Amino acid sequence: MEAVVESHCFSRIWNCMTSSNSATSSSWNGVCRRRAGSLGRLKLGTKVRVPRCRIRAVSSEVKRDDDGDGWIVENAEMVRSFPLFVGGASFAAVLLNRAFSGIASIADASSAQSRADVLALALSASVVLTGLVWKSIQSRPQFPVALYGVECMRVASSLPTEVVREVTWAWESLENATRTRSMIVVYRNRCILQAGLAAEREDQGGPEFVDASRVLQGSLYKTLKESKKQSYLANLALYPDRFELPFLPPNTQALILQPLGEDGVLILGSDTLRGFGPNDQRWIVAIGEKLDSALADTV
Q: Would you kindly state where each structural domain of the chain is located, as residue ranges? A: 2-58, 71-136, 150-296
Question: Which amino acid is it at 53?
Answer: C
Q: Which residue has the higher pLDDT, 155 or 138?
A: 155
Q: Which residue has the higher pLDDT, 270 or 78?
A: 270
What's the whole-number mean pLDDT along residues 193-209?
90
- Report pLDDT for 110: 66
CB atoms < 10 A from the CB of 156, how many?
17
Model confidence band, residue 69 (pLDDT cutoffs 50, 70, 90): low
Inform me whether the pLDDT recorded for 251 exceeds 70.
yes
Chain centroid to Cα 11, Å, comes to: 30
Question: CA of 291: how far to CAs of 57, 179, 231, 241, in Å?
Answer: 21, 19, 17, 25
- Report pLDDT for 99: 80
Q: Which residue has the higher pLDDT, 134 or 210?
A: 210
Model confidence band, residue 133 (pLDDT cutoffs 50, 70, 90): confident
What's the whole-number mean pLDDT along residues 112-117?
79
Mean pLDDT of the chain: 77
- Report pLDDT for 80: 82
| Bridge pairing between strands 264-270 and 254-260 | antiparallel
Return d(Cα 214, Cα 217) in angstroms, integer.
5
Q: Which residue has the higher pLDDT, 21 or 200?
A: 200
What's the whole-number mean pLDDT along residues 47-56?
38
Inform me whether the pLDDT recorded for 220 exceeds 90.
yes
- Report pLDDT for 116: 83
Q: In what order do the strands lie in the sheet with 190-198?
A: 150-155, 190-198, 180-187, 264-270, 254-260, 231-233
CB atoms < 10 A from the CB of 185, how many?
28
CB 186 within 8 A of CB 252: no
Q: Does domain 150-296 have CATH number 3.40.50.720?
A: no
pTM of the predicted structure, to 2 decimals: 0.60
Q: Which residue has the higher pLDDT, 8 or 83?
A: 83
